[in-house]
């Protein structure tokens, strides 16, 4: 995207005297270039991975798996005890694990016995993602007082 297009978006007049150099133009220009062309869509890793971290169950799954390897049902049982909500449905657990496996964060070890045994664990990549999650949680934790304050002040 060219800078003059950005100027039009911002309704910034052409700089004739050099006084209208809106700093947002250069900053937006950098942002657009950093995002690439075309910009990442919903299926792009950047979007998907952050969406995973933001969904209801994946963060908890990552945290639990960072303590070790688990069978499917054991994982379900642990989530049911540890979460604030009613517990995860078998369907959702499978969906989430599949998504995490698909992106290389979770390894699935299948033993074709009766009954079958399937062991889920974090890959090194998944452990890295769990670390990122921890750092993010740490930031929120450190700022939760201020967030709570903002929430209370938000009675407008």
Q: Which residues of the shown chain bind DNA in the complex (CB under 7 A)?
A: 55-57, 71-74, 85-86, 88-92, 94-95, 97-98, 108, 110, 115-118
User: Would you say 18 or 38 has its CB closer to DNA?
Assistant: 38
- CA–CA separation, 122 vs 130, rounded Å? 9
3-state helix, strand, coil in the chain (%, to 5): 60, 10, 30
Under a CB-based contact definition with an 8 Å cutoff, are residues 58 and 130 in contact? no
Nearest to 119 by CA among 89, 79, 75: 75
Among 21, 51, 89, 116, binds its own copies (CB under 8 A): 51
In the complex, minimum distance from the CB of residue 81 to its own copies, in angstroms, rounded to a whole number: 6
Which positions from 6 through 25 interact with its own copies, judged by CB under 8 A?
Answer: 9-11, 22-24
Which positions from 53 through 112 interact with its own copies, judged by CB under 8 A?
Answer: 53-56, 59, 63-64, 66-68, 70, 74, 77-78, 81-85, 101-105
Pick what 135 binds: its own copies, DNA, none; C-beta below 5 to 8 Å, kind-dependent: its own copies
- CA–CA separation, 24 vs 7, rounded Å? 9
Largest alpha-carbon pair distance within the chain?
Answer: 80
**Of all helices (H) and strands (E), which one includes residue 48?**
helix 45-54
Q: What is the DSSP string of 60-97?
A: HHHHHHTT--EEHHHHHHHHHHHSSSS---HHHHHHHH
In the complex, minimum distance from the CB of residue 114 to its own copies, in angstroms, rounded to a whole number: 18
Residues near its own copies (CB under 8 A) are 1, 5, 9-11, 22-24, 27-28, 30-32, 35, 38-42, 45-46, 49-56, 59, 63-64, 66-68, 70, 74, 77-78, 81-85, 101-105, 125, 128-129, 132, 135-137, 139-141, 143-144, 146-151, 153-154
């Amino acid at each position: 995207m060219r800078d003059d297009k950005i100027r039009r978006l911002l309704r910034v007049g052409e700089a004739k005297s050099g006084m209208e150099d809106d700093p947002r133009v250069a900053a937006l220009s950098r942002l657009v270039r950093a995002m690439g062309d075309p910009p990442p869509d919903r299926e792009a890793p950047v979007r998907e991975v952050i969406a995973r971290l933001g969904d209801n169950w994946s963060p908890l799954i990552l945290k639990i798996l960072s303590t070790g390897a688990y069978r499917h049902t054991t994982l379900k049982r642990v989530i049911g005890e540890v979460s604030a909500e009613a517990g995860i449905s078998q369907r959702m657990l499978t969906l989430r694990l599949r998504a995490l496996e698909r992106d290389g964060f979770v390894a699935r070890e299948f033993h074709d016995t009766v009954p079958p045994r399937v062991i889920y664990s974090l890959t090194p990549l998944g452990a890295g993602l769990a670390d990122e999650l921890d750092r993010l949680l740490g930031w929120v934790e450190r700022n939760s007082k201020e967030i709570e304050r903002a929430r209370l002040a938000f009675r407008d």
